[in-house]
Chain A
C-alpha cells in the first residue's frame, strides 16, 4: 500500500474506535518480512497517544492462511495466557483492501545477529532461553476448548499424526516447487519417513517460534511476533524449529544461538510445558531444517513465476544450500 493510503485509512479507522479526531504521524514501513506489510506509526487520539503497529497482507486477494486471518485473535489468546506479546488493539475491517490489524508497538529490536553479537545484550543472552521456554510452555497450554475463535486454524487431517501431516505438506511443497532436483532433501525426507515420532496431543503450536521473530532489549524477550503460521499440532514442532541452524544467526549454541537444548528442555518442563522426548525433539529439528530449505525454494519460486519482483525473495533461493549442509550433518548423526 502507498503511504498516503495507509495514513488516511489509519486515521479513519482509529477515529472510529477512540471517538476521533485522530492524527497519525511518524508513519514508516518497516524493513524485512517478505510475506507481510508492517507499518509503524504514532496516533494522537482523544484518549492519548498510541504507539502502534499495523500488520497487513501484502496484496489484495493474496492466497491467505487461517493463521494470518486469525493473527489478531492468536495474539489476543496469547496475551490472555500471559505470553510476552505486544498488546493487541483492534482487528481490522474493510478500511483497506487487504486484511489487517493493529497492535501496540513494543520498543526493542528483532535482528538475530544483534542479539548474538551486541555487547549491550550480554545479560539478555543469558536469560533469553529461559524466557522463551516459559513463553513456549504458556503457548502450548492454550486449549482449543477455551478458544472457539481459533477453531479455524489448521490441524492434522483425520488419521494422520501431526508429524506425518507436516512432512506430507512440505514434501508436496518441495515436489511442486520443482526448481531442480535436491538429492539431500530426498535423503532427509526418507530418513524422516522412517523415523516418524508417535502421535502426540494437539496443542497451539506457534509455528515460527525463533530468534528473529521476537522483540528483545537488554533485559531479554519483550514480545513474541509473527503468529501467522500458528496451528493445532505437536508441541515438539516448536522446539525443533527453534533449534534450526539458520535461526542461530551465527551463535554457537542451538537455542536461539545462545542456549543449550538441555537447559531449554529443563526450563520448558519446569514452566509447565509437555514432557520432552529427546528423539522426538531431534526429529523436529531435522524436519525444521528441511522445512526451511523447502521454504527457501518456494520463496524463490514466487519470484521465478513472476508473482513477486522482490530481489529479497529471489536471493533467498540461494540459501537452500545452508539447510542442505545441516541436513547432511544431522544425517551423519552430528547434532551439535
Chain B
C-alpha cells in the first residue's frame, strides 16, 4: 500500500494547480487546454470513486440480459469480459432480437442505467438532468 497522499488527494492537488495557477496565468489555447486537463482530472476522481459499483452494476445487468456468468476477480479481466459481453449484446441487437417485445424493454432499461453511470463520471450535471427518482 502506498503512503499518503492517496490517489484522490494527489489528483486533487494537480487539478488545483491547473485551476489556481495555470489557468489564471495563461491565455488562449494554453488556458483552454489547462481547463480541459483540470476537467479530465476531476473526472478521473469521480471514476475512481464509483468504478467498482459501476462495473458490478453493468455486470449484473448483462447477467439479466445474456445469462448469468461469474464475474472475474481481477479488474483487467472484468473489463475484457465486459467488452466481450457488450459485443454479444450488440450482435443480438443487430440480429433484430431487440426490435420489439419485453427483451427490448429490458435492454433499454439496462442501457439507460449503464449510460447514466457513465455520465455520473463524465458529466454529472447532465446525469442529474436525466436521472429520475428511483433510478440507480
A residues at B contact (CB < 8 Å): 28-32, 180-184, 186-187, 190, 310-312, 314-315, 318-319, 321-322, 324-325, 328-329, 331-332
Given contacts A181-B83, A186-B90, A311-B37, could you give 20 more A-B pairs where the C-beta distance is less than 8 Å?
Answer: A31-B28, A31-B31, A32-B32, A180-B83, A183-B89, A190-B96, A311-B40, A312-B33, A315-B36, A315-B39, A319-B122, A321-B115, A321-B118, A321-B122, A322-B119, A322-B123, A325-B116, A325-B126, A325-B130, A329-B130
- Known A181-B83, A324-B111, A328-B115: A318·B89 in contact at CB below 8 Å: no
Q: Which of B28, B40, B93, B130 has the most CB of A within 10 A?
A: B93
A-B contact pairs, 26 of them (CB 8 A): A30-B28, A31-B28, A31-B32, A180-B83, A182-B90, A183-B93, A183-B107, A184-B111, A186-B94, A187-B98, A187-B111, A190-B98, A190-B99, A310-B33, A312-B36, A315-B36, A315-B39, A318-B122, A321-B115, A321-B122, A322-B119, A325-B112, A325-B126, A325-B130, A328-B111, A329-B130
Residues of B within 8 A of A310 (CB): 33
B residues at A contact (CB < 8 Å): 28-29, 31-33, 36-37, 39-40, 43, 83, 86-87, 89-90, 93-94, 96, 98-99, 107-108, 111-112, 115-116, 118-119, 121-123, 126, 130
Residues of B within 8 A of A180 (CB): 83, 86
CB of B87 within 8 A of CB of A181, answer yes
- Known A31-B28, A184-B111, A184-B115: A315·B90 in contact at CB below 8 Å: no
Q: Which of B33, B90, B115, B123 has the most CB of A within 10 A?
A: B115
Residues of B within 8 A of A28 (CB): 28
Q: Which of B29, B32, B37, B98 has the most CB of A within 10 A?
A: B29
Q: Is the interface of B mostly helix, strand, loop or mixed?
A: helix
Q: How far is the CA of A30 from the CA of B31 in the complex (A)?
A: 11
Q: How far is the CA of A186 from the CA of B90 in the complex (A)?
A: 6
Q: Is the interface of A mostly helix, strand, loop or mixed?
A: helix
- Known A311-B33, A321-B119, A328-B111: A181·B89 in contact at CB below 8 Å: yes
Q: How far is the CA of A314 from the CA of B112 in the complex (A)?
A: 24
CB nearest neighbor in A for B44: A318
Q: How far is the CA of A28 from the CA of B32 in the complex (A)?
A: 14
Residues of A within 8 A of B108 (CB): 187, 328, 331-332
CB of A322 within 8 A of CB of B90, answer no
CB of A322 within 8 A of CB of B96, answer no
**Min distance, Cβ B76 to any Cβ of chain A, angstroms:** 14
Q: How far is the CA of A190 from the CA of B32 in the complex (A)?
A: 38
**Min distance, Cβ A29 to any Cβ of chain B, angstroms:** 6
Residues of A within 8 A of B36 (CB): 311-312, 315
